[in-house]
């Protein structure tokens, strides 16, 4: 459902204030989560994102291109990140059958163990910095707004 965009129905100043608040909130929340992940587990938050995506993927794996898209990295960025995660024993790289140039990133047992270990702390931190400050009605409204904006961006 598209929102009608007319000068009469739109308060530009309110929209711009909301946009700035959104950007500042996103930055603050992500910095907090990044700091907590590093303090508690010595991991970059981007590694957590990759592990979650892989754990949720079919058979614990995703093509590198799909993984890059899902964690908002470039192809070269995901390659470098996966290389570091391979060194840490959290993921493997596996060739794609029938595609000489394609590779999967595959979560390892150690990667799954890391999710189990880190998950409760990360969840607690997400609640502390963001989710505890939103009531049920606001959560429902924000969920609808975010889904609509995501759909418009695809």
Residues 13-153, CATH architecture:
Orthogonal Bundle (1.10)
C-alpha distances out from residue 51 to 46, 116, 121, Å = 9, 11, 15
User: What is the reported pLDDT for 34?
Assistant: 98
State pTM to two decimals: 0.85
User: What is the reported pLDDT for 33?
Assistant: 98
Backbone angles phi, psi at 100, to 5 degrees: -60, -30
Tens digit of each residue's pLDDT (9 = 90 or more) over 48-73: 999 999 999 999 999 999 999 999 99
Tens digit of each residue's pLDDT (9 = 90 or more) over 22-42: 999 999 999 999 999 999 999
User: What is the reported pLDDT for 5?
Assistant: 58
Domain boundary assignment for the chain:
13-153
Distance CA 84, CA 60 (A): 18
User: What is the reported pLDDT for 100?
Assistant: 85
Burial environment of residue 120 by CB neighbours within 10 A (0 to 12, 13 to 18, 19 or more): exposed
Residue found by looking up tokens 């700091």 in the block: 35
């Amino acid at each position: 459902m598209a929102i009608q965009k007319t000068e009469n129905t739109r308060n530009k100043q309110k929209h711009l204030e909301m946009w700035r608040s959104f950007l500042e909130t996103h930055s603050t929340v992500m910095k907090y989560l990044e700091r907590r992940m590093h303090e508690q587990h010595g991991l970059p938050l981007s590694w957590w994102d990759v592990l979650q995506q892989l754990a949720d993927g079919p058979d614990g794996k995703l093509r590198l291109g799909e993984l890059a898209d899902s964690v908002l990295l470039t192809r070269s960025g995901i390659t470098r990140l996966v290389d570091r995660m391979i060194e840490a024993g959290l993921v493997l790289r596996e060739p794609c059958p029938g595609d000489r140039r394609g590779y999967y990133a595959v979560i390892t047992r150690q990667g799954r163990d890391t999710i189990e270990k880190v998950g409760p702390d990360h969840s607690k931190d997400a609640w502390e910095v963001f989710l505890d400050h939103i009531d049920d009605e606001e959560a429902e409204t924000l969920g609808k707004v975010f889904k609509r904006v995501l759909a418009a961006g695809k």
